[in-house]
Amino acid sequence: MVKGFSDNEVKNDAEIKESKKEKKGLSAFLKGKKFTYTLPGKRQINIFGSIVLGLNLILIFLVILYLKNQEFQDFVFNVGR
């Protein structure tokens, strides 16, 4: 017996039609929607950049304060417990 494809064609149309059922849930909701991505404007880039830089500066300040000030280190230790 030789392995491989048979000479007879196999018709699986019924199985293919069953697998193409209607989508449910989120995919059905998004079926007709078209989303386009637009690049953020300069103002939005500046706002997010300022927020990120500000939070990084606050983090650096708190780390330095933690390392240099024993009272702040005790406060963090006691609050974290």
* Distinct helix (H) and strand (E) counts, the chain: 4, 0
Whether 62 and 54 have beta carbons less than 8 Å apart is answered as no
For 6, phi then psi, to 5°, come to -90, 160
| Position 41, amino acid | G
Domain ranges of the chain: 31-80
pTM: 0.52
pLDDT tens digits in sequence order for the chain, 81 residues long: 556 666 665 555 555 555 556 667 777 777 777 777 788 899 999 999 999 999 999 999 999 999 999 999 999 999 987
